[in-house]
Amino acid sequence: MAERRVVIIGAGPAGLTAAYEFAKHGWKATVLEADAQVGGLARTVQYRGFRFDLGGHRFFSKSQEIEDLWQEILGPEMIERPRLSRIYYRNRFFYYPLKPMNALINMGLFNASACMASYAMARLKPIAQETNFEEWVTNRFGRRLYQMFFKTYTEKVWGIPCTEIGADWAAQRIKGLDLLTAVKNAFFGQKKGGAVVKTLIDSFRYPRLGPGQMWEACRDRVREKGTAVVHGMNVTGLRAEGGRIVAVQAAREDGGREEFPCDYCISSMPLRDLVLGLAPGAPEEVRKDAANLRYRDFLTVALIVEREDLFPDNWIYVHSPEVKVGRIQNFKQWSPDLVPDPKRSCLGLEYFVWENDELWKSSDADLVAMGTREVARLKLVKEQDVSDGAVTRVKKAYPIYDTGYQDRLDRIKAYVKTFANLHCIGRNGQHRYNNQDHSMATALLAVRNIAQGAAYDPWNVNVDAEYHEIAQTERQAPTYPKQA
């Protein structure tokens, strides 16, 4: 039988997991990657010997298969790290997850009583129809706590008012949690799935040299098995004939164009770009739906600090509205080996932005200067201790769940599913605000459908997932759908 031509778009966790699973089935593939590095959003950037994530990446999955896969790829290079994360609000640190005494002391008796009264009000007179994030959270936590712990941070992250974020987003992210449950959990621990939740809270697994190490190792393994991972290939179009994708078109960095004929196409590129790049063109309404999918962009300012120890947290959520930074990573606490000199430290300041907004367009030097001022203002670091910095801009870091996105996504999904040999996987590939394990699970199922003739629906992996990279809630396992 002639060799089947498999083209995989994207060498992030989804694309590389697909290539890895194909290799296990004895299949080779061609992976097309626009960037010079593998790992996508989970890559590790290097600057003068310092290594940093684009936002810290915890490796956690309730799927044993995914945990085993990470172990299989990196073995003893996967380390276990203690976790501490706190919320910074009005010059005080609140433990996250909540610790009642700490919260009480920080708030003061008056403020804490006011929060309780506002919670009681919300329970007695809830907003009848919860249509947006603000209403959903207020009903469960009261207006005062919503304003303290949800509004500023959520709006920093998404760049739109909480009244424009759908209530279903909150329901998915903060599922099952209200003030009473949160307080009960803080006093008595979480009952459901106790062991796993405890592990998640107290420690996490992490590659010794950052998440990029995982994906670089995975790339090396698939290359050994004959798969090509081609960098600098920006996929711009997919050519279809008779309900199948017959070729993937890409623009090279030097301006040249290439076409890759295929029997199977697995895509982890953003769904919006994929649909708009289909030739012949998708129906007008599907194109319109795709054009209306939105993304939040992101940038990291890494600061090199001439201090051995800064603070014990792996990361700090910054709720204070007086600074723009949303979260601060302390990379040495993730793994001491991310920092080349034990006398120094490295912080990653996360800014949630729009591509081409004022921050995005600021020069690197201005961003490093702003980051330095902000950490000094938060009293985390002295300005004079920051000796250098580097900026990484990340497009389409977060697929946005704005009002109406689900209907748009359903219509797009129905259309892309009409192509028998096109398999959309991963975060932006499915417009799913996910973690690495979800992206990987979608890849495994897509490959099994192709190589084993299985009948999974990769779009249904982890439908109820909660996510904690931002929403600060713990999450559920990626559950695999039953075969149709």
Ligand X SMILES: Cc1cc2nc3c(=O)[nH]c(=O)nc-3n(C[C@H](O)[C@H](O)[C@H](O)COP(=O)(O)OP(=O)(O)OC[C@H]3O[C@@H](n4cnc5c(N)ncnc54)[C@H](O)[C@@H]3O)c2cc1C
Q: Is 40 in the site for ligand X (CB under 6 A)?
A: yes
Q: Name which of 142 and 270 has its Cβ closer to ligand X.
A: 270
Pick the binder of ligand X from 7, 8, 41, 282 (CB under 6 A).
41
Q: What is the DSSP letter of 421?
A: T
- Ranges assigned E (strand) in 108-172: none
Q: Is 14 in the site for ligand X (CB under 6 A)?
A: yes
Q: Name which of 55 and 389 has its Cβ closer to ligand X.
A: 55
Shortest reach from residue 352's CB to ligand X, in Å? 9
Contact 22, 447 (CB under 8 A): yes
Rg (CA), the chain: 23
Shortest reach from residue 179's CB to ligand X, in Å? 26
Contacts of 452 (CB under 8 A, 6+ apart): 25
Q: How far apart are CA 127 and CA 134, in angstroms?
A: 10
Q: Name which of 135 and 273 has its Cβ closer to ligand X.
A: 273
Shortest reach from residue 274's CB to ligand X, in Å? 8
- Site size with ligand X, rule: CB under 6 A: 38
Q: How far apart are CA 328 and CA 315, in angstroms?
A: 5
Range 352-356, long-range pairs (CB < 8 A, 24+ positions): 352/156, 352/157, 352/158, 352/159, 352/296, 352/297, 352/298, 352/326, 352/398, 353/159, 353/296, 353/297, 353/298, 353/299, 354/159, 354/296, 354/297, 355/297, 355/395
Report the length, in residues, of the chain: 484
Shortest reach from residue 70's CB to ligand X, in Å? 10
Handedness of CA 163, 169, 171, 173 (dihedral sign): negative
For 349, list phi and psi in degrees, rounded to 5.
-95, 125
Pick the binder of ligand X from 122, 217, 238, 269 (CB under 6 A).
269
Q: Record the tokens describing residue 378, joined without a space.
A: 């938060």
- The footprint of ligand X on residues 376-405 (CB under 6 A) is 397
Q: Is 9 in the site for ligand X (CB under 6 A)?
A: yes
Pick the binder of ligand X from 8, 18, 42, 157 (CB under 6 A).
42
Q: Is 10 in the site for ligand X (CB under 6 A)?
A: yes
Q: Compose the 282-321 pattern: x for residues touching ligand X by CB under 6 A, - for all others.
A: ----------------x-----------------------
Alpha helices, DSSP H, located in 165-283: 167-173, 179-188, 194-202, 211-224, 271-276
Q: How far apart are CA 48 and CA 46, in angstroms?
A: 7
Q: How far apart are CA 326 and CA 154, in angstroms?
A: 9
Pick the binder of ligand X from 6, 8, 57, 339 (CB under 6 A).
57
Q: Is 439 in the site for ligand X (CB under 6 A)?
A: yes
Shortest reach from residue 7's CB to ligand X, in Å? 10
Q: Record the tokens describing residue 446, joined without a space.
A: 């897509």
Q: Which segment (49-57, 92-100, 218-226, 335-343) binds ligand X by CB under 6 A?
A: 49-57
Pick the binder of ligand X from 212, 389, 426, 478 (CB under 6 A).
426
Pick the binder of ligand X from 54, 209, 240, 375 (CB under 6 A).
54
Angle formed by the axes of helices 436-451 and 64-74, to 10°? 90
Contact 260, 32 (CB under 8 A): yes
Q: Compose the 16-35 pattern: x for residues touching ligand X by CB under 6 A, - for all others.
A: ----------------xxxx
Q: Name which of 63 and 439 has its Cβ closer to ligand X.
A: 439
- The footprint of ligand X on residues 228-247 (CB under 6 A) is 233-235
Q: Which segment (6-14, 100-108, 195-203, 476-484) binds ligand X by CB under 6 A?
A: 6-14
Q: Is 154 in the site for ligand X (CB under 6 A)?
A: no
Of the candidates 233, 253, 232, 223, the residue with the CA atom closest to the CA atom of residue 36: 232
Q: Is 267 in the site for ligand X (CB under 6 A)?
A: no
Q: Name which of 83 and 99 has its Cβ closer to ligand X.
A: 83
Decide the pairing of beta strands 422-424 and 85-89.
unpaired
Shortest reach from residue 268's CB to ligand X, in Å? 5
Tell me the one-letter amino acid at 248. V
Contact 373, 77 (CB under 8 A): no
Rounded to 10 degrees, what is the CA torsion of 179, 184, 185, 188?
Answer: 170
Pick the binder of ligand X from 44, 172, 335, 435 (CB under 6 A).
435
Q: Name which of 33 and 130 has its Cβ closer to ligand X.
A: 33
Shortest reach from residue 157's CB to ligand X, in Å? 10
Q: How far apart are CA 426 and CA 206, in angstroms?
A: 20
Pick the binder of ligand X from 296, 427, 431, 448 (CB under 6 A).
427
Q: Name which of 58 and 344 has its Cβ closer to ligand X.
A: 58
Shortest reach from residue 340's CB to ligand X, in Å? 23
The residues of the shown chain that bind ligand X, judged by CB under 6 A, are 9-15, 32-35, 40-42, 54-58, 233-235, 268-270, 273, 298, 397, 426-429, 434-437, 439, 469
